[in-house]
Each structure stands twice: as structure tokens, then as C-alpha cells.
Amino acid sequence: MKRLIPALALLVLAACGQPAETPAANAPAQEGPVVLGTTRNMPDWLFILRTNEGGTIHFNQRTITRQDGMADIWLQIRWGRDQIMQADTESTERVIHYELERIHYRFNCETEQFVIVERQIMGANEQVVARDEPRQIWRNTPEAGAARHVLPIACRGS
């Protein structure tokens, strides 16, 4: 009976756990959507860094895609203070005050270069109030900062 109780406890504990679907560390990078273990109970935006102004930078694990050596990922920046964007058109002048923006990065995983595909300025209820699609200029990933931190997540899922 003394041996049966610990064995039963182990069996119950094993039944409660859910297996993680994590790829082997030395597995080659796959193309298409990336699954970071199980994301079922995880929030959409996961913290990675703090800004110098006291804001936070997050990435969305559900936006990661890989294809032909490229990896796409979205970052969200919650600034620590009010930001200003000049959004003029040919017929109007507009100044937007915001505290939240989202940036779509595309990485060349082999060369560790990136472009910013799109930038979104978010307003009330996280609605897009301005959008920018900058010229596609490939840049080397700097040694520090958001792009350096998110590169391995986007390219390798680690």
C-alpha cells in the first residue's frame, strides 16, 4: 500500500499536465506560421523590452510567419509618454497624439537584415488612426534594441 500511494500520485500528476509542443533545439527552421509551444492560454502581446521613456515593447506570437528565409513579425510599442506624429496630406494638416503604435518587421534571417513593412498609429480602442508604409530599405540589425531582441524570435522561434 505504501508503494501504491506514491505511484498513484505520480499518475495523477502526469494526467494533469499537458504536453508542450516545442520543436527540438537543433530542428531546422520551418516555413509558414510558427507555433511557440502551446499559445492557447497566452496573451496576444508578449513583453520583450522597456523603452528609455518607461514604455514597453511587445511582440505578437500569432503574427510570426516564415517563408523563403524571411520572417515577419509585429511589434507593439506602448510609449511612456505622449508621442506626436505630423500626418499632413496635400489638402490638410493634421497632428496626431498617440501612446501606442504597431510596427511590422520583415527579417532576412540569413543576413540578419530587416525592413519596416508597415507602421500603424493606434487611437482609442486600439483602432488604426494613421498608417505608414515606409520605403523598403534593408538595414543591418543593430547590436541592441527591439530589432535585435526580436530577430531570434522571428527567425528561429527562440
For the chain, domain boundaries: 29-156
Q: CATH number for the 29-156 domain, one of 1.10.287.110, 2.40.100.10, 3.30.70.20, 2.40.128.710?
A: 2.40.128.710
Across 2-11, 49-58, 110-119, which has the greatest mean pLDDT? 110-119
Q: What is the C-alpha to C-alpha distance for residues 78 and 52, in angstroms, rounded to an integer? A: 12
- Residue 82: which residues within 8 A CB-CB, separation 6 or more? 97, 98, 99
And the C-alpha cell for 128? 488604426
- Residue 143: which residues within 8 A CB-CB, separation 6 or more? none
Task: Report the chain's mean pLDDT, rounded to a whole number.
Answer: 79
- DSSP run (H or E) holding 92: none
**111-132 average pLDDT score:** 93
27-86 per-position pLDDT tens digit: 455 555 554 554 556 678 999 999 888 899 999 989 999 999 999 999 999 998 889 888
Share of the chain above pLDDT 70, in %: 73
Q: Given this model, what pLDDT does residue 37 score?
A: 53
